[in-house]
Each structure stands twice: as C-alpha cells, then as structure tokens.
Structure 1
Amino acid sequence: MSPTTKEAQRTELHKTIWRIANDLRGSVDGWDFKAYVLGMLFYRFISENLTAYINEGERNSGIEGFDYTKMSDADAELGRDVTVREKGFYILPSELFQNVRERAPRDPDLNETLERVFKNIEGSANGTESEDDLKGLFDDLDVNSSRLGPTVAKRNEKLVKLLDAIGDLPLGNFEDNTIDLFGDAYEYLMQMYASQAGKSGGEYYTPQEVSEVLARITVVGKKRVNRVYDPAVGSGSLLLKFAKVLGRDNVGGFYGQEINLTTYNLARINMFLHDVNYEKFDIAHGDTLTDPQHWDNEPFEAIVSNPPYSIKWEGDANPLLINDERFAPAGVLAPKSKADLAFTMHILSWLAVNGTAAIVEFPGVLYRGGAERKIRQYLIDNNYVDAVIQLPPDLFFGTTIATCIIVLKKSKKDNAVLFIDASAEFSRVGNKNKLLPANQEHILERFTAREDVDYVAKLVPNEEIADNDYNITVSSYVEHEDTREVIDITELNAEIAGIVARQAELRTSIDAIVADLEA
C-alpha cells in the first residue's frame, strides 16, 4: 500500500527517485539523461491522468467498474474528439504507459513502439487549440540515441528498465494522493539536476523557496489574480508557485516565454504535471526582448522573473528597439553587454496598473552608471520602484553572488522606495544557503509593514535617491549594525592604572624577597 499522508509520500518519493535516476543512467551524463527520466515521468502522468478522467466519466454515467486500460483501440476511437476538446490530447488504450510497460520486455521493437506512441500523442492535438501546447514535447526523449546503448537490443534493455523504474515510483493514484506527487517528483528531479549542472542548471531553475517569496510579494492582499507572467520562464517552476500560493483555480492563466528549446519543453511538461490544463497556460518559444509572443495577453496582474544575469542582447545595434513601446519611455536602451534592465523595462511595460512585479536582479544594475543609471532615473522619477530587497549570497545554482529583488508597481501610495536588508535571512543546508519558512516570513513581514526597522529596513523618499545619483543598493540606505563591543575609555584607563599599580606592588614585594635571599 502506498503511503498517503503528505510527508510520508514526499519522503518515500525523494528517497527513491534520485537513486533510480542515477542507477539507470549508467555511463550517460546525468544532465543529458534528465530528458529520459523527466520525459518518461510525463508519459506516465498523462496516461494515468487521462485514464482517471475517462474512468470517472464512464462510471458516473452508470458503467460500474469501467477501466479504460482494458478497452479496445477501435472502441476508444469513438471518444477521441470530445476528449481532445477537454484534455487537449488523446492516448489509445494500447499506447498507455501501463500497457506499453507490460508488453515492453517482449517487444523487440520497443524503441520504434515508443517513438510511434510519442508521435501519436503529439499528433492527437493537430488542428486543435492545444496543438502548440503538445507539439515537440517528446523531442528530447530520443529513444534511438546511441547514448542509451550501442545496439537496438541494448537500447531497448535500457528503455525497459526506465519504464519499470518510473512505473514503480510510489506515486499512488489520482484518487488517493493528498499532494501533487507527479509535480513534486518533477520539481525534485529538476532541482537535483540543476544542482549537479552548476551554472547551466541555474539558468533554468529558480530554487523553490525563492520562487515562493517572489510569488507571495506580487499577490499581497489578493486572493485571486487574472493572469500571471514570466518573460524568462525557464522550467516554469516560478510561475507555478502562484498555484501553490493562491490555489490553481484562483489564477486565471499562466503565461511565459523561453528562448531555450529544451527548457521550453520542460516548462510545458511542468504545467501538465501540475495538472494545469492546456487552455490555462500559454508558454511560448523565442527571444522575449526582440520577439515577444504575448502582445495580445498583456497587461498582467502579477509578473515574476529570474532573467539571465547580464547576458548580451541586440540593444542599440537594432535601430528599431529604441522606438519599441517597451523601451522607448526611458529614452535609452540597456547596454548590449548587459540586458538586465531591458528585461525590467519589458516587465514594467506589460504590468497592469493594479499589478505587482518581482524580479531577481544582478547587483550591478543597482549602481552601474551610463545607460543603466538613466533607466534607474526613469524608474525612480516616475515612482515605479516599490522596494529593493537584498538577498543572501549563495542561494542559486551556478553562482554564489548575493542577488536582489526589485519590486515594481504602477499605482503606489507613496513616493518612496522600501529598502530591505535580508542578507542574513538564511540557513546553510548542504552546500547552499536556503530561505527557510521563517526567513521567508521575515521578508514578507518587512515588505508588508513598509516601515523603518533599525539595520533591516528603511523607507527612503525618491528625492533622496535622486540626490544619491539614483543609486539603489540596499547598503546605501540600510545601515549595518555595528556588532563590535563598546568600550568605556575612562573605565579602561582606570583598569590599566590599577594593573600598573598592582605591578608596582608586586615588583616591590619581589625586590624585598630577593634582598632577603641575598642577605
């Protein structure tokens, strides 16, 4: 019997899943093998998800004990169209994960079977509204790759083990689970792969505790938001925090864009694995800065992002960008070598009047001169910067740098910026710093209170920031506590005088003793 309590399920899952992933990959690099583990997990999920959906419908209509896995493909074809409209995809019974797995040890053409199944799943959405959400989802799961083995037989042997290992994961079933175990497994695997991959892992995965702080900042005082957006969506984990913070039904839609094709696929899979149906998300592929894909969906009520730090972009080499409505208001473009504030301007442009954006930023954007100073001046003079939060160092995979969060709003109640020093809000866990729940709460408390706290928070008028050359580093406004011991000089001098007097007394005593000895 599978464990059914939340923590029991999670503990069992995490105990098993990484060992399985490592045992399976053999000589294949872990970073490369992630596509097989994550892809097969997705295949199992959509198979079981679809089966549960169809079984529930048929049983509710009076067919007791109905089991879609045992239905013939010919009979199942009758329900294809209506199911695709509801779920966005279709899988025939013979192509369900559990049935392919059962036949796998006896299938000499397993690689071809899986390749056909994956094409059929993607193809089931062709010509429908969900086509773009399914297209290419299995592209990175190459069942004919030599990385799985030098021969077809060896590859199929590895694929059988992969099917069995993923099939044996203690994920319970859709009726009994008290947590989203498929989504939890996916998040755990991505976190582990990101930690192993170093810098490249940090490019697609934001630690969950940081994601939660960002999401909570943007929805303070709200129980529902219309649309949420991330212009550098990565694996989608940051966007999905809104589902945890508010509840999936209290988010009108999840929108994001990702330039890396593999990561774009990970994000779409992540949405499905968290049971976000195709009509509730729109993840696009492409360069957000030069080819944004969601003009018809903006503005967004909540925007969160951890864009790549100081990457190159076209900047003023592209004469069209200075007239782009997203960048034109500042009168200058972010430097070609540092796109950080280009993302910031894009986010501000697409932020709703009643919305909030929380962006993880590289520290240099807070104080560097030139074009970046002019962009900061535009943001401060127009009262768009709500808060700047200094985070602890070594939170992210691939860098130990202490990053910060810039919070943007278009409708503020004051003309000031709240600076929060949260650099000490962490605990060391393993080889990284982490924002534990208590640390997260402290940051949120300071953000919502919006008041001065010695050595922690300072509300600074925009005029004072302008006088400081639009420098918005937290350390410029929040004084560090001097933890050195306070010494009373008068008392110290008296103590020294006492020591000297005592020395004199001892010297006199010693001289007397020596004189007696000499006599």
Structure 2
Amino acid sequence: MASQELNQALWNAANVMRSTMSADEYKNYLLGMIFYKYLSDRQLYAVVDLLEDRKPESLDEAQRLYEEARQSEDWEDLKAELEENYSFAIEPQYTFTALYNEINNKTFTTDHLRQAMRDIEQGGEAIRGQKLYEDLFEDFDIDSKSLGTTPAKRNAMLSDVMKELAHIDFTQYGADALGDAYEYLIGQFAAGSGKKAGEFYTPQAVSELITRIVTKGKEGEPAFSIYDPCMGSGSLLLHARSYINEDCRNGIQFFGQEISHTTYNLARMNMILHNVPFQYQHFRNGDTLGADWPTEEPTNYDGVCMNPPYSQHWSAAAGFLTDPRFQRYEKLAPKSKADFAFLLHGFYHLKENGTMGIILPHGVLFRGAAEGTIRKHLLEDGNIYAVIGLPAGIFFSTGIPTCIIVLKKDHVSRDVLFIDASKEFRKEKAQNFMDAEHIDKIMAAYDERKDVDKFAHLATFEEIKENDYNLNIPRYVDTSEPEPEVDLKAVCAEMQSIDADIQQTAKELFDMSTNLTCQDRETEESLAELLKVLQEG
C-alpha cells in the first residue's frame, strides 16, 4: 500500500505540469526534481547520524541541526565527511527542505534551485574520468519557456511541483520501493509520449521476459555482467537483478550505451535510485553504430539485451566491412534498416557461453538481399537459438508486431526454437498487455524446447535450409484453425424447412390480402396485381 501511495503522490506532482507540457517535456523536470529531493533527504539524515548518531524525528529537525552545524567550528569536518561518503555536500540553504521553507515564506528564487543542482553535480572524485553526478541535471532547464513565459511564472510552476513533493520523506522508503516508483513514473510518461516513448522505455512485461531469458543458467554467477547498447532509461538492465541470486546481485556489472543525452542521464538517475554502486556502472553517452564501445576490458559479457530503434537509418559506410563487429557477415545491414547492425554489435560483445536477446520487427526474419545474407551466416554458425513472436500493440511507441531473437555462440546443434506468442496478451482499451501467465507460458516452452501444438516448434537446421533460411514464424508454427466440415444433409433439410416457411407465409399473406377493399380503380388494379404475384409465388 505504501508503494501505491508513493506512486500516487509522485503522479500528483506530475499533474501540476500536465496541463501546460507534453509528457516528453515534463518527465525531465519531475524526474530531476524527485532525484534532487531524494539526494537532499538522504543527506539531511546523514547529517544527524554524523552529528548525533541517531535518526532525526523529521526532515525539519534535520534541517535545523544542519543549519546550526553550518555556523559551528566543526563545519569543514562535517562537509568533508559528507563529500567522502556521498560524493557531494548540498549547502544547508540549498536543501530541498530549505527551498520549500522559502516557498512558504515567499522568498524562493529559481537561482537557489540552480545552485543546489550545481553543488550536487560538482561534488566527489572522478571514477574512470567521470564524477558520479556530473552533468546529471543538464537537461533540467530552469529558464525554459515550457515552465512559464516569465521568471515569475517559472518560479510559480516549480514551487507548485515542490509543494506536491514536500510531504514525501524519501528516506522512509527502501531502494526497491523508490526505484520501483521511479520506474512507475517512467512507464506513465511513456504512455503519454507516443512514438517518443520508444527512446526510453521498454514495457515491464517485455523487460521481464527478455531478462529471464538472458540470465537463465547464470543466476549464481558471482560477477554477472550485462550489456545494453541501447539502454534507454536502463530498465532492461535493472530487471536482470530480479533473476540473479540475492547473494550475487550486488556484484552485477552493468554496461550500457545511449545516444540521447537526456535519456542517458535518466538511466544514471535510475541506477542511483536503485542503489547500484557507481563502480558497477559502466555507461557511455554515444552512438552504438559509430565507433565500437566498449573497447577496454572487459569487452564481452554474460548477457546482452537490446530494444533498439526499429528500422533506423545508419551510414552503412563501406569501411564497416572491415569492422570486427560486421566483417564476418559479408554484407552490411542496409542504410534504411539498421536492425542487423544493432544485432551484430550486441552479438560481438557476447561471451562464448552467454545469451543475447534483442527485440526487432518481424521483417528481419524474412527480408532478403543483405539481410538474408547476414541471417544465413548466423544460422549456419548456429548462433540463432530461438525466435519468439510477441503480440502487436504492447509497445507505446509502435503498434507493429515484434519478435525476440535469442542468440548464443556455443549452440552446436543449429536447431531453432520458434514460439508464436502473438495471442498471449490481455487487451485493455487501445493497448495490449502481457501478464505473468503469458510470460510463464512462453518461458515454459522456451525451457522445454519441444513442439507445442499451435504454439511452438523446434526446427532442424535442414528444415530451415529447405525454407531458404527464411525464419518467418508461420512457416514453422501453424496456428490456423481447420474449416468445420459441412453436413450436406443438414443443409438440405434446413433449406427445405425454410422453403416451407416461405410458402406458408405467402399463403397467409394472400388470404389476408383477399379481404382488402379499395376506394378507387387505380388501387384496385394494384391490389389485383399483388394478389396475382402472391398466388403465383
């Protein structure tokens, strides 16, 4: 119940901005504000713990003690400890609680919020050339006209949002509850963002399915590594934690790349809110289909998961034919459809005994030319392990049906499991949703790796070769229903019965019509004509 209340409280803050901004805009402000308050609340509790070795009774009490400490001779020591333990120290006058008090006293200015975020970004030592919070609030544009056309209106908008968040003490929620609430908001924003949702969100059910597949058999790996070259908000990566044994979760190494700077920062916040240690976060803001990354050890991972943009344009420059990611496959993915370029990039970074899952449109299964050549190489090498057809309408960003392609490097038999899960969904208004029973059914078929009537088929390499390396699912899983047999005797009997009914009705109508009288000659002639028709019928 506490989680539901937290979700609702955070969504109420979003409602402040919904009337003036699109979901794609206000998500950056609200998520940034939540993250700032989370860091501020956590620091205030840390101050009381350092000063008096106890928890404060409230954020207001913690704020008062912090302000007193700022005037004491021990301030520099306290600040140094905060910076060492938390990588930053927000000055007492710039905590969320202090700014909320300013709002109530009508002395708040957006410059104070700007300074608070700057304090956070500049704190701490760099690891691998980057500070934990560096540039994290870069997309939180306090001067944006979207917040208001004048400074006063922007001040009022941000004040209203902060009022909605002020009564939430984020320290009262565990990392899972707060992280899940953050994911809940990201999902809500995706629902309102239309096609832009694909840039940062993979539906929870799809995330669960693909990460269950990728982590299978690696649940007890002491230092499991997972890579998402199109990580969006990081939800696919974070879902993997649910399927790794509890005593191994804190050792997961997360690797990810994201081309959008805004979404890249969203993923970083998501990781911090889920208490992922900074030394286990290996992220880059960059173009996956440009120069290869990662290039420093480790470069191969236990699991690779991807939900790339579908049929994206890319350069397909001839030089890529000598790139180790693509050179083995003879052809490059076409300029107008980078689907196989994303697939081959991820596959290149997979360990020999790892598993990769990628979500792509169905066209990659059967399109010819260069894509057909690449697909043939993958099948001949035994790299495609399974193809799972997903229902249409489960993504906010597109209504087209998609599939999960599962790849392995150590799959010797070269057979491919096909699962047609296109009917495994629950419809709700205009959106389709996959529930736990749908995912469990798919996983059961995936684990068994056997034929299931109208649902799954394990195709041999010879069978695939006979189909000219076409992986279109209906070629292997027949879901058609036979037409029911027609009982000709029953049809004849029914026709005779209908004919008898028609004749009886016509006779009754004729008898009734003979009792009609007419007032003029024209009507009498029309009635006579009608009686003639009825009698002949």
Q: TM-score normalised to the size of structure 1?
A: 0.87
Deviation at 1:112, TM superposition (A): 0.9
The 5 Å alignment of 1:88-127 reads 88-106=87-105, 108=107, 110-125=109-124, 127=126
Answer yes or no: is the 8 Å Cα contact 2:304–2:356 preserved in 1. yes
Which residue in the other structure is 2:522 paired with?
A: none
Which residue in the other structure is 1:346 paired with?
A: 345
Deviation at 1:203, TM superposition (A): 2.2
Which residue in the other structure is 1:241 paired with?
A: 239
In the alignment, the residues of structure 2 paired with residue 507 and residue 87 of structure 1 have an alpha-carbon distance, to the nearest angstrom, of 89
In the alignment, the residues of structure 2 paired with residue 86 and residue 103 of structure 1 have an alpha-carbon distance, to the nearest angstrom, of 28
Cα deviation 1:121-154 (Å, max 9, x = unaligned): 1111354558344221101112222332333333
Which residue in the other structure is 1:478 paired with?
A: 477
Question: Which deviates further from its counterpart, 500-509 or 303-312?
Answer: 500-509
The 5 Å alignment of 1:175-214 reads 177=173, 180-214=176-210
Where do 5+ consecutive residues of structure 2 fail to align? 511-537
Letter in 2 for 1:354: N
Answer yes or no: is the 8 Å Cα contact 1:37–1:166 preserved in 2. no
Q: Secondary structure at the match of 1:144?
A: coil
Letter in 1 for 2:229: P
Q: Secondary structure at the match of 1:198?
A: helix
Which residue in the other structure is 2:145 paired with?
A: 146
In the alignment, the residues of structure 1 paired with residue 272 and residue 122 of structure 2 have an alpha-carbon distance, to the nearest angstrom, of 17
Q: Secondary structure at the match of 2:309?
A: coil
Letter in 1 for 2:473: V
1:336/1:503 CA distance change after superposition, 3 Å = closer
Which residue in the other structure is 1:223 paired with?
A: 219
Cα deviation 1:480-507 (Å, max 9, x = unaligned): 14154x32x5xx2333565678799999
Which residue in the other structure is 1:287 paired with?
A: 287
Answer yes or no: is the 8 Å Cα contact 1:212–1:241 preserved in 2. yes
Cα deviation 1:239-268 (Å, max 9, x = unaligned): 111123325825521110000111111111
Question: Which deviates further from its counterpart, 8-17 or 341-350?
Answer: 8-17
Answer yes or no: is the 8 Å Cα contact 2:219–2:243 preserved in 1. no
Letter in 1 for 2:315: E
Which residue in the other structure is 1:5 paired with?
A: none
Q: Secondary structure at the match of 1:387?
A: strand
In the alignment, the residues of structure 1 paired with residue 384 and residue 342 of structure 2 have an alpha-carbon distance, to the nearest angstrom, of 15
Deviation at 1:337, TM superposition (A): 1.1
Deviation at 1:331, TM superposition (A): 1.6
In the alignment, the residues of structure 1 paired with residue 251 and residue 209 of structure 2 have an alpha-carbon distance, to the nearest angstrom, of 17
Q: Secondary structure at the match of 1:131?
A: coil
Residues 1:15 and 2:14 aligned together: no
Answer yes or no: is the 8 Å Cα contact 2:230–2:307 preserved in 1. yes
Cα deviation 1:324-376 (Å, max 9, x = unaligned): 11111112111111110001111111001111011001111111111100110
In the alignment, the residues of structure 1 paired with residue 2 and residue 447 of structure 2 have an alpha-carbon distance, to the nearest angstrom, of 34
Which residue in the other structure is 2:530 paired with?
A: none
In the alignment, the residues of structure 2 paired with residue 454 and residue 475 of structure 1 have an alpha-carbon distance, to the nearest angstrom, of 13
Answer yes or no: is the 8 Å Cα contact 1:243–1:251 preserved in 2. no
Cα deviation 1:297-328 (Å, max 9, x = unaligned): 3201011110000111111x2x3311111111
Answer yes or no: is the 8 Å Cα contact 2:48–2:54 preserved in 1. no
In the alignment, the residues of structure 2 paired with residue 279 and residue 150 of structure 1 have an alpha-carbon distance, to the nearest angstrom, of 41
Q: Secondary structure at the match of 1:378?
A: helix
Letter in 2 for 1:309: Y
In the alignment, the residues of structure 2 paired with residue 185 and residue 383 of structure 1 have an alpha-carbon distance, to the nearest angstrom, of 41
Answer yes or no: is the 8 Å Cα contact 1:383–1:416 preserved in 2. yes
Which residue in the other structure is 1:305 paired with?
A: 306
Cα deviation 1:161-180 (Å, max 9, x = unaligned): 221212234x6634xx4672
Letter in 1 for 2:239: K
Q: TM-score normalised to the size of structure 2?
A: 0.85
The 5 Å alignment of 1:302-381 reads 302-315=303-316, 317=317, 319-381=318-380
Answer yes or no: is the 8 Å Cα contact 1:22–1:30 preserved in 2. no
Answer yes or no: is the 8 Å Cα contact 1:242–1:251 preserved in 2. no
Q: Secondary structure at the match of 1:294?
A: coil
Q: Secondary structure at the match of 1:229?
A: strand
Which residue in the other structure is 1:36 paired with?
A: 29
Q: Secondary structure at the match of 1:452?
A: coil
1:504/1:24 CA distance change after superposition, 3 Å = closer
Residues 1:495 and 2:490 aligned together: yes
1:495/1:373 CA distance change after superposition, 3 Å = same
Please provide the CA RMSD for this pair. 3.0
Cα deviation 1:271-319 (Å, max 9, x = unaligned): 111121211212210101112332223201011110000111111x2x3
Question: Which deviates further from its counterpart, 145-154 or 449-458?
Answer: 145-154
1:504/1:75 CA distance change after superposition, 3 Å = closer
Residues 1:256 and 2:251 aligned together: no
Which residue in the other structure is 2:456 paired with?
A: 457
Question: Which deviates further from its counterpart, 211-220 or 413-422?
Answer: 413-422
Answer yes or no: is the 8 Å Cα contact 2:258–2:287 preserved in 1. yes
Answer yes or no: is the 8 Å Cα contact 1:393–1:423 preserved in 2. yes
Answer yes or no: is the 8 Å Cα contact 1:356–1:408 preserved in 2. yes
Letter in 1 for 2:270: N
Letter in 2 for 1:256: G
The 5 Å alignment of 1:410-425 reads 410-412=409-411, 414-425=413-424
In the alignment, the residues of structure 1 paired with residue 196 and residue 499 of structure 2 have an alpha-carbon distance, to the nearest angstrom, of 69
Q: Percent identity?
A: 35
In the alignment, the residues of structure 2 paired with residue 218 and residue 411 of structure 1 have an alpha-carbon distance, to the nearest angstrom, of 14
Answer yes or no: is the 8 Å Cα contact 2:201–2:233 preserved in 1. yes
Answer yes or no: is the 8 Å Cα contact 2:333–2:341 preserved in 1. yes
Which residue in the other structure is 1:517 paired with?
A: none
Letter in 2 for 1:352: K
Answer yes or no: is the 8 Å Cα contact 1:227–1:253 preserved in 2. yes
1:28/1:500 CA distance change after superposition, 3 Å = closer
In the alignment, the residues of structure 1 paired with residue 394 and residue 157 of structure 2 have an alpha-carbon distance, to the nearest angstrom, of 36
Answer yes or no: is the 8 Å Cα contact 1:344–1:359 preserved in 2. yes
Structure with greater Cα Rg: 2
Letter in 1 for 2:156: E
Letter in 2 for 1:228: I
In the alignment, the residues of structure 1 paired with residue 496 and residue 138 of structure 2 have an alpha-carbon distance, to the nearest angstrom, of 86
Answer yes or no: is the 8 Å Cα contact 2:388–2:419 preserved in 1. yes
Which residue in the other structure is 1:440 paired with?
A: 439
Letter in 2 for 1:423: S
Which residue in the other structure is 2:38 paired with?
A: 45
Which residue in the other structure is 1:3 paired with?
A: none
